[in-house]
Amino acid sequence: MKKIALIGLAAASIIALAACGSAPGTSKGGSEKGNAIGKTFKIGLNMELSGAYAAPGNAEKNAIQLAADEINADGGINGKKIQLVVKDNKTDNGEVATVASNLTNNDKVAAIIGPMSSGGTLAATPNVTKAQVPLITPTGTNDSLTVKNDKVQPYIFRTIFPDAFQGKVIANYTEETLKAKKVLVYYDNSSDYARGILGTFKDNYKGEIVDTLSFQGGDKDFQAALTKVKNKSFDAIVLNGYYAEGGLLTKQAREMGLSQPIVGGDGISDPTYTELAGSAATDVYYVAGFSTKAPFNDKTTAFIKAYKAAYNEEPSAFAACAYDAVYMIKQAAEDGKVKNSAELAKALAKVKGLVGVTGTIDIDKNHNPVKSAVMVKLEDGKEASAEIVK
């Protein structure tokens, strides 16, 4: 999810700035209210439905449709049925900006869900901000999306926790559950994602870091560095990076006799990690936002059942986070009795106690969800168990 979230981030900022001139300003008459909510409650989808990210994008669309159907069957939002306006951004950040402009200016939506990626969200931000229409990214995780230059982006929200939050989860789990008093840290120095996790890990881990090793994206041989620390005393390996390098690193570490638990972020959650590591992916733990093996509540269980019935497959974390985005809009709109998109944005910033399928969500001052995470355990290259961690 992280690799998907971050690809194209830098290029997106240039594209987005170029496109922002086409965005709507305020509603007619110059009033600072964004788009009025009409006879239906219009929610736009700016989603990756074709192109490189089509698989997770369509999973999110499916979950959003499922949530909208449920809400409509129950009377809608403030008595108004949800009308989904679905547009494909083609996994192209230039198209993302155009779709954001069309949804806000032409379709007059009250809210937008998507893009699913951080790069796409960055590309959409200028247009939705100018239009005063809130955007919820289900799975865009880059820390700078909701806060830029120490300023909160007033119209950007998310239902997935940001990258840096994972460092806290890893620190707490490593120290409290695994009882690791000494750790070896191995991280991808070329990745903002890995560096962000490392920073908050160091801030929160109270044990000893015996050594910190780094690698670069694309590296394949980790034996020399591992040999240097092989005889040091440590209780766990904290691995911050993505699945391609992580899988090879894990395999080589196990072949060298390093049997300590390995703990990482969701950058190693991709199936490629276990394909590369094979059975060496044993006693490995990674952070996730959702797992069907660890339902948060009765609503999670019902969601898993309904999604499987509708789409003949188990829901992913992408789907679960997108589903919660719809209910986040519903709670904000009803609690705030909102009449337009600008009021909805203010109400979204006040969401507390939302019982979602990814846990109970409180939106913090930076527009990020405060909620529990899932720690998945791998044995012999397969998901053996999952547990909810605060």
Fold for the domain defined by 2-161+296-371 = Rossmann fold (3.40.50)
Average pLDDT over residues 337-349: 98
Give percent of the chain with pLDDT exceeding 70. 92
Give percent of the chain with pLDDT exceeding 90. 83
Predicted pLDDT of residue 193: 85
Identify the weakest region by mean pLDDT among 9-13, 109-113, 161-165.
9-13
Predicted pLDDT of residue 52: 85
Average pLDDT over residues 142-152: 94
Average pLDDT over residues 2-13: 46
Predicted pLDDT of residue 32: 64
Confidence of residue 390 (pLDDT cuts 50, 70, 90): confident
Average pLDDT over residues 347-368: 98
Q: What is the CATH number of domain 164-288?
A: 3.40.50.2300
Whole-Å CA distances, 47 to 44, 88, 234, 327, 366: 9, 5, 44, 18, 23
Q: What is the pLDDT of residues 180-218, one digit of tens each?
A: 999 999 999 988 888 889 999 999 999 999 999 999 989
Q: What is the mean pLDDT of the chain?
A: 91
The answer on pLDDT for 12 being more than 50 is: no
Average pLDDT over residues 216-225: 94
Identify the weakest region by mean pLDDT among 27-31, 32-36, 181-185, 219-223.
27-31
Average pLDDT over residues 377-384: 95
The answer on pLDDT for 30 being more than 70 is: no
Helix axes 118-131, 93-101, angle to 10 degrees: 20
Confidence of residue 27 (pLDDT cuts 50, 70, 90): very low
Higher pLDDT pick, 29 / 361: 361
Contact between residue 333 and residue 345 where contact means Cβ atoms under 8 Å apart = no
Contact between residue 218 and residue 245 where contact means Cβ atoms under 8 Å apart = yes
The answer on pLDDT for 55 being more than 80 is: yes
Q: What is the pTM of this model?
A: 0.83
SS (H, E, C) the chain: CHHHHHCCHHHHHHHHHHHHHHCCCCCHHHCCCCCECCCCEEEEEEECCCCCCHHHHHHHHHHHHHHHHHHHHCCCECCECEEEEEEECCCCHHHHHHHHHHHHHHCCCCEEECCCCHHHHHHHHHHHHHHCCCEEECCCCCHHHCEECCEECCCEEECCCCHHHHHHHHHHHHHHHCCCCEEEEEEECCCHHHHHHHHHHHHHCCCEEEEEEEECCCCCCCHHHHHHHCCCCCCEEEEECCHHHHHHHHHHHHHCCCCCCEEECHHHCCHHHHHHHHHHCCCEEEEECCCCCCCCCHHHHHHHHHHHHHHCCCCCHHHHHHHHHHHHHHHHHHHHCCCEHHHHHHHHCCCCCEEECCEEEEECCCCCEECCEEEEEEECCEEEEEEEEC
Q: What is the pLDDT of residues 271-317, one digit of tens each?
A: 889 999 999 999 999 999 999 999 999 999 999 999 999 999 999 99
Phi/psi for 183 (5° steps) reads: -135, 155
Q: Where are the domains of the chain?
A: 2-161+296-371, 164-288
